[in-house]
Each structure stands twice: as structure tokens, then as C-alpha cells.
Amino acid sequence: MIEVKHLTRSYGSVSPLTVLHNVSLKVEAGEFVAITGPSGSGKSTLMGLMAGLDRPTSGQVFIQNEDITQASENELSRLRGEKVGFVFQNFLLMQTLTALENTMLPAEILGRELAEKRARELLARVGLGERVDHYPSQLSGGEMQRVAIARAFINTPPVLFADEPTGNLDSKNGQKIVELLLELNRTYESTLILITHNPELARLSNREIRLKDGRIVEILAHRGGSHKKTAAASKGAALGATRRAPAKSKGTKRK
């Protein structure tokens, strides 16, 4: 689904600051990958590059075998609309639009038919069927994030990026958002790439990719709370990132 090759991102020209160093990895279709690491480790930079929100200093990003680093701004806009969904920590809802209008917006931009019908169905699915005409200022933080999740799935994207989706929520609402996100992700069989500082949330993933100082330092293949650690010297991390975690043994249930 996604392949990253030797990705580097630097900022500034006189004394450039490199925040991502020669990162390579693959994400399989339908996989749930968590990207973790301390603040400043390059997590959001990596996600922005993978999603086509930013351009690398060097390296390539492929989504479904399409090299997005060579795409024009118009092509990137089309690709994000058709293939990528986003859920952000700060919700990023349009304050002048209702929950229904916010959810419909990506489908309307693409000229999709039955946008309102699908938006109403998704809002009902996330428990906001009675709140469709409410504005963000009339919604709680958990409700706004549910609108953001409905909006992310409106075009049924093959890839969903979530950047700290529970970061601004209390633990109770955060747990509800996680359950909802994973439920919809399974229902629509999308690939989920999630940035989090929460180790419990990361353990729900198929693989956890840990960054430090802009480099992959280890890759954990999770299985019901246990994990297999992969050493991550530069080449080893890249190779490990391309391997799908082994199938779980018979009778083992994923949490």
C-alpha cells in the first residue's frame, strides 16, 4: 500500500536541520501501523511526507505504486482526496459548518453523489445521528473527534492517517475514539497509520515503528500485548519494516 525509500527531510539552507534521516519502510494493505517516539523524533514529519502534505528533501514515497514525490500540487490534491483520510489531534473542523456539512465536505469537493446520505449514515455510525445540525462550538471534544473520523471515512480511502487522535481527550473519551477508529478501519478494510505516545494504543497495532532523532530505532511486531523486538541499525530497520508480522497462533485472540 505504501512504500518509503531513503526518505530525508531537512529545513533551512544556511545551517540545515535534518529531522528525518534516510528512512525506508513498507506498509501492507490492511495493516495497522503505529509510529511512536519522543517529541521531536520525526513522527509527524514522516506522516506528513507519507500523506503528501509535505515534500522530502530526498527519497521517494509510493502510495499504491504511485510516486507521490513526483506529483504536481493538483495531482497531490486529487490523490489526497481519493486515497487518503486524515484524523488530527486538534480535529480541524470548519467552525462555520455543521457536523453534517463538515463530514460531507471532502465528498462534495470530489463531486461524489449521495454525499449527504453517506455523511448521515457515518454520523449515525459514530453516535451523532441526532447532532448532525450542531456546529463544532456546540459539540464536546469527543464529539468533534467523532465528526472528524466520519469525515475521514466519507470517501472510503484506502489509507487513513491519524495523528494523536486521542491527544486532546480524557481517557474515557479517548478509549471510545480508539474503539470507534479501529471498528471503522476493520469495516472498510483500510490501512491505518497512527502516531501516538500511548503505549497501550500502540500495542493494538500489527507493528510499532519507533523513531528517535529522525531514525527508525526498532520495530515491534505486536501480538496480544506481547511483542517481538527487531534491532534497528539503519539497514536492519529498513529490512525489518518491510516484513509483515507472522500469523498469530491458533486460538490466540487479538485484543
Name residues of the chain where pLDDT drops below 50: 224-255
User: Residue 44 in 3-state DSSP?
Assistant: helix
DSSP state of 127: T
DSSP state of 4: E
* Residue 180 is assigned to a structural domain of this protein: yes
What confidence tens digit (pLDDT) does each residue in 73-96 have? 888 888 888 888 898 888 899 999
pLDDT of residue 193: 93
* Residue 231 is assigned to a structural domain of this protein: yes
* Residue 24 is assigned to a structural domain of this protein: yes
* Residue 226 is assigned to a structural domain of this protein: yes
pLDDT of residue 198: 86
pLDDT of residue 223: 64
* Residue 162 is assigned to a structural domain of this protein: yes
Q: How many domains does the chain have?
A: 1
Give the CATH number of the domain where residue 211 resides: 3.40.50.300
Q: What pTM, to 2 d.p., does this model score?
A: 0.80
* Residue 217 is assigned to a structural domain of this protein: yes
Phi/psi zone of residue 254: left (φ > 0), alpha (ψ -120 to 50 degrees), beta? beta
* Residue 20 is assigned to a structural domain of this protein: yes
pLDDT of residue 97: 96
Instruction: Please report how the helices 115-125 and 141-153 are oriented relative to each other, as an axis angle in degrees rounded to 10.
Output: 130
- The set of cell numbers assigned to 249 is 497462533
Domain extent at residue 154: 2-241
pLDDT of residue 164: 87
